[in-house]
Amino acid sequence: MLFNSYIFILFFLPFTLLGYYGLNYLKRYRIANLFLIGMSLGFYGYFNYKYLFIICGSILINYLLSRGILSLRNRQCAGKVLMVFGICIDAAVIFYFKYYDFFLENINAVFGKSFALKNILLPLGISFFTFQQISYLVDSYRGETKEYRFDEYALFVSFFPQLIAGPIVLHGEMIPQFKNLNNRRLIPPNFSKGMYLFALGLFKKVLIADTFGKAVALGFGDIGALSSMEAWIVSLSYTFQIYFDFSGYCDMAIGIGHLFNVELPANFNSPYKSSSITEFWGRWHMSLTRFLRTYIYIPLGGNRKGMARTCLNVMIVYLVSGIWHGANWTFVLWGLLHGALCCLNRFFAKSWDKLGVVMRWCMTFIAVNILWVLFRAEDIASAGLFVQKMFSLSGSAVREELYQCFELMELAVLGNLPVINMLYSHITGFYMWIFILGAFWVVLRFRNSKEIEFKPTFARSLAVIVLMVWSVLSLGEVSSFLYFNF
């Protein structure tokens, strides 16, 4: 089930809210927990009921392991063995479902073997809820968790707003909120802010990200036919598609959390305002960055053992980040290149600071934009061809089909205005440039959604209704969020 689908917006979400608050009103708090767990698992199983066996088994096994680790807190060696055993089980599950075929493909290619691939169907969100539970096992070993009830733990893992594509939450920021009885009643300011964030996120996804996505699909569908200008337009389109897609998802997830009086951690903070790759990763997928820093980078020694060791640790972290995103050499190379740029930032920090903020921003944005090509491409050869097209100076011709990707029905209404009609007649690809320049303006000038203090007024309430209705009417063919694939 997708946030941007009729069944979720019109049926699942209202029914879940009514059931949850109704049970809490009757002071059936534990039943309310079980109801929300059941609805969350139903949300997950809607994609494929077979996924339920995986997530339910994962929750049960990790809960039992964490209880075992807590019971051995006075026997650190035994507790550590159990923690490592649990992490190995979680890693094995991810490896089998996400990387087994990739591993066999490479064995076949390198050694000339012909092992049959299993074509395993990837369970949605497996990387997210597995990392979440690994963090819980480690925190249990460190003595940072309590002996939560099974329903509290299961709700922490399965809570549907963050289940499929994050953020990767920690027990300490979630379970206490579910235990707080003050959060069990409807709080109008929270509900209003939640509706605002959900409507804003839906608008970003349906009207902006999916529009850029049409140009991306056209361009990456036939890379060989691209002119140099088209390659840059398509690369920028993907840069903005993934921005508004992920930003929209984060807004919707946090907004739904507010509807249940649950504050999910920030996961997105205007990353294209960054003036270095290091800053970019402090703003992009913040919960993943936090996990990698807390559970990999710092245990490896962080930056405490000299520049060479620091850079090695950085490269390991970004290698894991790349592999986490997908079973393809494009993701591996994408992660390593980001890591290499972060190391260069450290080596030349003083020289970098002297460049000036505008130059630093330009270089960072161009690097991120080019690396997104690798992230989107089917394979490294396709990515190489695409980048070659970008720098081939093969002309500025742009096909009419690319312009048409940006001509929404809603914009056609504006074409009746004399000024818009004149501009449309005199500027080739007018709507395309409006989208691209408008996207630049939004990502650079607008505050992040979490920074906006929402005060319910008539005008803002009307804006929420307009955004929601416009987005729902524009749903058409439902497209999944890009991070659902990871």
75 and 113, same structural domain? yes
In a domain, 128, yes or no: yes
175 and 202, same structural domain? no
Distance CA 4, CA 58 (A): 27
Query: What is the predicted pLDDT for the residue at 478?
Result: 61
pLDDT tens, residue by residue, 7-54: 999 999 999 999 999 999 999 999 999 999 999 999 999 988 989 999
Query: What is the predicted pLDDT for the residue at 80?
Result: 92
In a domain, 388, yes or no: yes
pLDDT tens, residue by residue, 56-87: 999 999 999 999 999 887 777 888 999 999 99
125 and 219, same structural domain? no
Q: Is the pLDDT of residue 416 over 70?
A: no
- Concerning whether 258 is annotated as a catalytic residue, the answer is no
pLDDT-based confidence at residue 413 (cuts at 50, 70, 90)? low
Query: What is the predicted pLDDT for the residue at 424?
Result: 62
229 and 89, same structural domain? no
In a domain, 45, yes or no: yes
SS3 240: helix
Q: Is the pLDDT of residue 367 over 70?
A: yes
Catalytic residue among 258, 325, 338, 426: 325
pLDDT tens, residue by residue, 434-456: 999 999 999 999 888 777 777 77
Q: How high is the mean pLDDT of the chain? A: 91
CB half-sphere exposure, 162, CA atoms < 13 A: 31
**Pair 260, 198: CB distance under 8 Å:** no
CB half-sphere exposure, 4, CA atoms < 13 A: 31
Q: Is 417 exposed, middle or buried (0-12, 13-18, 19+ CB in 10 A)?
A: exposed
207 and 98, same structural domain? no
**Pair 164, 124: CB distance under 8 Å:** yes
**Pair 471, 203: CB distance under 8 Å:** yes
pLDDT tens, residue by residue, 89-128: 999 999 999 999 999 999 999 988 888 888 888 888 999 9
Q: What's the number of domains the chain is made of?
A: 2
Query: What is the predicted pLDDT for the residue at 414?
Result: 63
295 and 251, same structural domain? yes
Q: Where does a domain end: 186, 213, 234?
A: 186
Distance CA 422, CA 427 (A): 9
29-33 long-range CB contacts below 8 Å, 24 or more apart?
29/181, 29/184, 30/151, 32/184, 33/151, 33/152, 33/155, 33/178
Query: What is the predicted pLDDT for the residue at 371?
Result: 98
238 and 218, same structural domain? yes
Query: What is the predicted pLDDT for the residue at 411?
Result: 65
In a domain, 58, yes or no: yes
In a domain, 308, yes or no: yes
Mean pLDDT to the nearest integer, 393-406:
87
DSSP secondary structure string, 247-274? HHHHHHHHHHHHHTT--PPP-B--GGG-
In a domain, 284, yes or no: yes
In a domain, 1, yes or no: no
Q: Where does a domain end: 164, 186, 208?
A: 186
Q: Where does a domain end: 186, 207, 239?
A: 186
Query: What is the predicted pLDDT for the residue at 47?
Result: 85
Distance CA 226, CA 390 (A): 9
Domain carrying residue 155: 6-186
318 and 178, same structural domain? no
pLDDT-based confidence at residue 476 (cuts at 50, 70, 90)? low
